[in-house]
Amino acid sequence: MFELLGIPPQALFGQLLLGLINGSFYAILSLGLAIIFGLLNIINFTHGAQYMMGAFVAWMLLNYAGVGYWWALLLAPLVVGAFGVVIERLLISRLYRLDHLYGLLLTFGLALIIQGLFRNQYGVSGLPYGIPPELTGGHNLGFMFLPNYRGWVVVASLVVCLATWFVIEKTKLGAYLRAATENPTLVQAFGINVPRLVTLTYGFGVALAALAGVLAAPIYSVNPNMGADIIIVVFAVVVIGGMGSILGSIVTGFGLGLVEGLTKVFYPEAASTVIFVIMVLVLLVKPAGLFGRNA
Amino acid sequence: MKLKTMLLATALVGALAGMAEAQTAVKIGVLNDRSGVYADLSGEGSVIAARMAIEDFKAADRGLKVEVVSADHQNKPDIGASIARKWYDQDGVDAIFDVPTSSVALAVNQVTREKNKIFIDSGAGSTDLTGPQCSPNTIHWTYDTYALAKGTGGAMVKKGGDSWFFITADYAFGHSLEQNTADVVKKAGGKVLGTIRHPFPGSDFSSFLLQAQASKAKVIGLANAGGDTINTIKQAAEFGVTQGGQNLAGLLIFITDVHALGLKAAQGLVLTESFYWDRDDASRAFSKRFAEKSGGKMPSMVHAGVYSGVLHYLKAIEAAKSKDAGPVMAKMKELPTDDPLFGKGQVRADGRKIHDMYLFEVKKPEESKAAWDYYKLLATIPAAEAFRPLNEGGCPLVKG
Amino acid sequence: MASVSERLSVGGARREVVETAAFHRAVFVWIAALLLVAPFVLYPVFLMKVLCFALFACAFNLLLGYGGLLSFGHAAYFGIASYVCAHAAKVWGLTPEVAILAGTATGGALGLVFGWLAIKRQGIYFAMITLALAQMVFFFSLQAKFTGGEDGIQAVPRGRLLGIVSIADDRVLYYIVAGIFLFGLLAIYRMIHSPFGQVLKAIRDNEPRAISLGYRANHYKLMVFVLSATLAGLAGATKAIVFQLASLTDVHWSMSGEVVLMTLVGGMGTVFGPIVGAAVIVTMQNYLAHLGAWVTVVQGAIFVVCVLLFREGIIGVLARKLRKPL
């Protein structure tokens, strides 16, 4: 067996696989951001907080109502998505005629409020959330021990991402959506309720974040701050990918997860900065992002 | 009749107020994390502990009027330093207690020295407080990283865990925690097979755990803190690290962290603490009272340390018949410490408070019989061995 | 950009220029008088904190209010300057004024690099890029040796000004900080009312038009970015000397958020708004400190209220009531 820079290939495969798992979270989150941005033209700074809420709702369902993981996977996105719809109707919709920057500031403020409230209520030590019994244990793949749950995360997120891509690119609803992104006035004139479309899109994007939160709950501790740091990384992912295409954000998310995984083997100290460094490089070479249209 | 009662009451209140004026007024500031990662292990619990100490000392009967104020330093040294400054300059605070997070503790240490007040730290771990940065105004009460490393590192090697792999948070505190422990391990005849430094704060540790697994080390030392440690332990359980025969050693972990993790994920973890609520009758009695006031939560060693520190501080004021920093500090170092929670001990010239430390193992879920029944005692590290020898810390206050 | 600029154009009145200038002069005199008396009434350390943040917010406002660029990573320049200044004063043993200059220059240099990268994109991309770059600086500060990681650089000596005057006393230091603040404020005021400032406003209001008139928009944008970063650096470096401490708080993204909040509350695109905003936010943090996480909630709520109902900010409203640009 050959060795690559002193790392046996088995270990490398293991790390790549782990990178892919992290990439799943980046992909779902950046996909949600991209969808919201596409139609609402705002960057949803609350995305991290909504991801955290997803995990918390799953935890609450289990501890207050005895509802397990599988139902949480369905219910938590619905609950948080509904919350998103309320926020969009009550607050964000008032800002569409203003500069996008106000949307950013508003959602940033909302993120602070949500995180602060959860911190007051639940502290920051993190709450335990077990792996569902069906997915405990793992398989020995020869080169590594893969916990079943992690395998499930990759599969689930791939399915969700591709399904979303399919809906947007290949269905009639998706066609409306894409048209409304291009020219809302014209689409409205065709008798489509664009404001409702916008609201539902925001709700859907938020639900995606919550879904990622539920997927993350058994792996990371359920913690009010869990969304604050990941969201900045996801922003960098979004800048790297550009927000031109849905597929682009998915590919970038998974791809950067892999790159991060490799960094953890070769130069772990840089694991937290590598994505930002890539962002700088992409900005120098292709300012619009890898998949972006020129802004 | 009513009027008479009222008059009587007024007279009584007046008399009491007159008495109070004759008393010495002491103001204690509990400065800690009330909203961040250390809020559970310090936070409001430390205020409760301070109040319990004042109550148990019967301060009012002994001519001391003790008031407690508290604030949140948010684990930021700048905020901690400016609150300390304001407390001393404007609010007449005489002594500051608790202060978890080493960076904040070092900052408060500076301010306290400059203003010549008293600082009794319970929550922070940095050995610098009694080392190069030691101060005639500071006492480090509950634990420090040296004691944790000594307890966990030394005892694990004795138990046969003689090869180590460190997962270290990549910042100064993580490095020193790792260094302390590695020294102890090597001294005890063990060896360090590898070290990996992870970004701080991190959320995914699986990649580092995989490398730790591949090292085949018997013990994986977690030289990180707070949320990072919790996540590492959780993910270690997921990847079957402990089932694979490796032991996890938490180098800075508290009972509140174990509580957050749940026994399922934390079982088998070995750690060092200076206090455990269920250790003896005295600690159980204290903890029961504490739990009644804190909504059922058991005290951490940091809470216990605040209690014990306040008690000793008040004793020293009484003995010194003054609340000025100089005489009170002298009395605190002169009088031996004695309280129900830490037993007998002393405060050394460098400000280090000395007492026994305990090595615990976290129980398996089936061994735990009640809420908060988490630890079994593996070993007691006697006070004389638990802490860094006086002459090795590099504290300028230590002569010779 | 149009709607922001409409809000911001409060500062752009051209008529009655002379009268306005006289009015502003009076305001400056009032500010100077207030600064002179304040330490006899209020706690000097608190005042110095307000002044450092006020200067920081003014520097940020130069970029947002007059350049139309929302940077979400201004903590980077503020923080790195604070680190360099603390290191220079403590390890190299430089006098405080040289240390502050060293910090300020570092802030400006970092601003040059980041600004050059960030102006390649516009609007929210610009905001996201500045945020991501600042996060990089945060990780750097966490890992680099000289910053002391989580401990920060502590026990920074205040030293002697020019090697002669001791500034250990809070009140003496206060007047120096007040001087630095006034200098910064006047510098910004001059910039805004210079031809450079006029071009800047033209670019903010309509970039393609300014370009078609022959202005190299990106040059101007970069220049204002660097100036803003430099002044933010000045504020950060001064703060390091005041608190004798440089720490991670200063480079964290929440600091970037706070400076946005200060500017928003005070009124963006107004000369004096950020000062009021900084005073309000610092005071609030001071008095609500015992409430813990509620401070975050309150700050978030202020954000939401300001964005939805109060986009002009305190001074913006005042300026409208007085019919005078402030």
CATH of the domain at B53: 3.40.50.2300
- Same domain, residue pair B256 and B361: yes
Q: Residue B102 falls within a domain, yes or no?
A: yes
- Decide if B394 contacts B132 (C-beta within 8 A): yes
**Measured distance CA(C103)–CA(C115) in Å, rounded:** 18
| Mean pLDDT score, B163-167 | 94
Other CB atoms within a 10 A radius of the CB of residue C6 amount to: 12
Q: Residue B139 falls within a domain, yes or no?
A: yes
ipTM associated with this complex: 0.85
User: What are the φ/ψ torsions at residue B344 (nearest 5 degrees)?
Assistant: -85, 145
Residue A159's Cβ-side half-sphere holds a number of Cα atoms within 13 Å equal to 7
Going from N- to C-terminal start, the domains of chain C cover 17-252
Q: How many angstroms separate the CA of residue C148 from the nearest CA in chain B?
A: 7
Alpha-carbon distances, residue C255 vs B306, C56, C258 (angstroms): 32, 11, 5
Predicted confidence band of residue B3 (pLDDT cuts 50, 70, 90): low
Residue B363 pLDDT greater than 70, yes or no: yes
Other CB atoms within a 10 A radius of the CB of residue B24 amount to: 16
Going from N- to C-terminal start, the domains of chain A cover 22-256
- Decide if A113 contacts C297 (C-beta within 8 A): yes
Note down the domain range covering B95.
2-143+280-355
**Measured distance CA(A103)–CA(C304) in Å, rounded:** 10
Q: Is C152 helix (H, G, I), strand (E, B) or coil?
A: coil
Residue in C closest to B82 by C-alpha:
C243
Other CB atoms within a 10 A radius of the CB of residue A65 amount to: 11
- Same domain, residue pair B298 and B233: no
- Tell me the helix, strand and coil percentages in chain B, rounded to 5: 45, 20, 30
- Same domain, residue pair B120 and B261: no
Q: Residue B398 falls within a domain, yes or no?
A: no
**Nearest neighbour of B72 by CB, restricted to C151, C244, C289:** C289
**Measured distance CA(B113)–CA(B30) in Å, rounded:** 17
Q: Which two structure tokens, joined as six digits, stand for B281? A: 């009758």
- Decide if B382 contacts B343 (C-beta within 8 A): no
Q: Residue B391 falls within a domain, yes or no?
A: no
Alpha-carbon distances, residue C119 vs B127, C68, C129, C132 (angstroms): 46, 12, 9, 14
How confident is the prediction for chain A on average, in pLDDT? 87
- Same domain, residue pair B188 and B267: yes
**pLDDT at residue C305 in the model:** 93
**pLDDT at residue A295 in the model:** 45
Q: Is B393 helix (H, G, I), strand (E, B) or coil?
A: coil
Q: Which two structure tokens, joined as six digits, stand for A77? A: 């996105």
Q: Residue B400 falls within a domain, yes or no?
A: no
Amino acid at A174: G
Low-confidence ranges of chain C (pLDDT < 70): 1-16, 289-290, 292
Q: Give tens-digit pLDDT for B8-62.
A: 555 555 444 444 445 789 999 999 988 777 888 898 999 999 999 999 999 888 8
- Same domain, residue pair B248 and B295: no
**Measured distance CA(C185)–CA(C35) in Å, rounded:** 13
Beta-strand runs (E) in chain A: 138-140, 145-147
End-to-end CA distance of chain B: 73
- Same domain, residue pair B129 and B20: yes
Residue B4 pLDDT greater than 60, yes or no: no
Amino acid at B293: K
- Same domain, residue pair B131 and B180: no
Binding-site residues on chain B for chain A (CB distance < 8 A):
35-37, 39-40, 170, 196-199, 201-204, 206-208, 210-211, 213-214, 226-227, 230-231, 234-235, 238-240, 256-257, 259-262, 264-265
Q: Is A217 helix (H, G, I), strand (E, B) or coil?
A: coil
- Same domain, residue pair B189 and B229: yes
Q: How deeply is B91 buried, as exposed, middle or buried, from its count of CB atoms within 10 A (0-12, 13-18, 19+)?
A: exposed
Q: Give tens-digit pLDDT for B275-312.
A: 999 999 999 999 999 999 998 899 999 999 999 999 99
Q: Residue B249 falls within a domain, yes or no?
A: yes
Whether B81 has its CB under 8 Å from any CB of chain C: the answer is yes
**pLDDT at residue B6 in the model:** 55
Alpha-carbon distances, residue C68 vs C196, C220, C257 (angstroms): 14, 12, 17
Q: Tell me which chains share at least 3 CB pairs under 8 Å with chain C.
A: A, B
Instruction: Write the DSSP assignment of C239-271 as a string of letters.
Output: HHHHHT-B-GGGGSHHHHHHHHHHHHHH-TT-S
**pLDDT at residue C183 in the model:** 95
**Measured distance CA(B30)–CA(B46) in Å, rounded:** 7
Q: Residue B397 falls within a domain, yes or no?
A: no
pTM for the predicted model, two decimal places: 0.85
Q: Give tens-digit pLDDT for B301-360.
A: 999 999 999 999 999 999 999 999 999 999 999 999 999 999 999 999 999 999 999 999
**pLDDT at residue B54 in the model:** 94
Please answer yes or no on whether B231 and A149 come within 8 Å at the CB atom. Answer: no
Residue in C closest to A101 by C-alpha:
C124
**Measured distance CA(C194)–CA(C196) in Å, rounded:** 5
Residues facing residue A222 across a β-bridge = A127
**pLDDT at residue B91 in the model:** 92
Cα radius of gyration rounded to whole Å, chain C:
19
- Same domain, residue pair B139 and B183: no
Q: Residue B392 falls within a domain, yes or no?
A: no
The closest alpha carbon to B274, from B376, B178, B365, B356, belongs to: B356
Please answer yes or no on whether B71 and C249 come within 8 Å at the CB atom. Answer: no
The number of folded domains in chain B is: 2
